[in-house]
Amino acid sequence: MQPQQQTTAAAGPAEPQFAALVAIDWADQKHFWSLRPYGGNIERGVLENSPEAVEAWVTQLHQRFGGQPIAVALEQRRGALQVLLGKYEQLYLYPVHPTTAAKYRQAWYPSGSKSDGQDADLLLEILTQHRDRLRRLDPDTTEIRLLQFQVENRRKLVEERTALSQKLQDTLKIYYPQIPAWFDNVTTQMVTDWLEKWPTLQDVQKARPTTVEKFLRAHGVRQEEEVQKRLAGIRDGVAATHDRAVIESCKPMVAAWVAQLRILHDAIRQLEKAIRELAVAQEDWPIFDSLPGAGDALAPRLLAAMGSRRERFHSADELQCLAGIAPVTAASGQSQSVHLRKACPKFLRQTFHEWAACSIPRSTWAKACYDGLIARGKTHHVAVRALAFKWMRILYRCWRDRQPYDEQLHLASLGKRNLPLHGLARAVQMP
């Protein structure tokens, strides 16, 4: 069977004439591959998981097929193998979702049999027969890809900081509950400095009031009322326990988490600075900087999500489906339901969801839309997803036309079409 040559919107730009199709079932030590030359039979082999082995293998393919394009299916989107293969211009990568591969295997092998070579053959069959359903990995510019990595790295560090803060707060509640009561957020720089200086209530009660006052003012507490409130809390505070075993066991854990939080604070701050500098330097930055509620954190994430290659999306619908914001309809017989799309890049969906939520107090029509959905009985997250669905269509148009967003222009457009939302937006008084 000859490989199919198909061109679809899902695959991005038009495909070249592939000299061969390859599928790789990756593993930690070695990879099993299946190859079908154009018009030929399947060949199989094993590839060691090392840059040297991959280089030698790709060189052989280059010599054999004269540098002609080769399509490669692999069961991952990001990882060591994708990075290793991504540097070769001859290879066109087609990531296959692990669930897709697993379901395909289950369909053809219901007995549950499995082997690495078998999985490579199944991936090759998916690539051969169903390439029109796969989205080819077409990397953006180096700057945009760096921005994509950086915004995701920042999110990982923030999540790590949140996890550490939860551990810290749970431990403080055991022997030093005044800290969670005095400070709304234990991850702040002031709290970490405080715990390094005074790790127990007894330590801060021994300190001079002037020393504590100087510390508070140095960390941004300017109001006299707030300063005196903290000093009174220290003076009147009662230790949660005098059990030396409890206190001495908690202190080193708190010290360790505080030290880690300090490192995370610095790393996140440096990363945010690098992200900002990289995002501002992009040609499309004015578009994303104009979006209501995006701010310093979400504007770069939205820029990274959209990228610079406008040929990737032929319509806003493609973007909405890829991001998982577009709902899915399940119909069978007389029953029909609409539910949240499951298989999608979670970070991408989270980006548009968070932006839509942040836009509510910043955009007249967005607040009107959200309030209207809530009044109709929709839950908060359902209403925010519906709002994100509308925002993505607007953003796609701005991005496609290379024009910043204009709130008044959009409201005027709603008015020209006599949409009900326009009347609601006019009634909303924004701060």
Query: Domains in the chain, please, with CATH?
Result: 20-139 (3.30.420), 144-278 (1.10.287.4070), 288-427 (no CATH)
The enclosing H or E element of 412 equals: helix 407-416
What is the model's pLDDT at position 8?
38
Q: What is the pTM of this model?
A: 0.82
What is the model's pLDDT at position 419?
65
Cα–Cα distance, 39 to 429 (Å, whole number): 67
**DSSP-assigned states of every residue in 23-34:** EEE--SSEEEEE
Picking from 125, 111, 115, 138, the residue whose alpha carbon sits closest to that of residue 15 is 138
What is the model's pLDDT at position 6?
37
Picking from 40, 23, 19, 20, the residue whose alpha carbon sits closest to that of residue 32 is 23
Q: Kindly list the averaged pLDDT for each block of 10 residues, start to end, along the chain of length 431.
A: 38 76 88 91 91 92 93 80 86 90 88 86 93 86 93 95 94 93 88 93 93 93 89 92 93 94 94 96 96 95 94 90 87 80 86 96 92 92 94 96 92 76 53 40
What is the model's pLDDT at position 420?
65
Cα–Cα distance, 120 to 47 (Å, whole number): 12
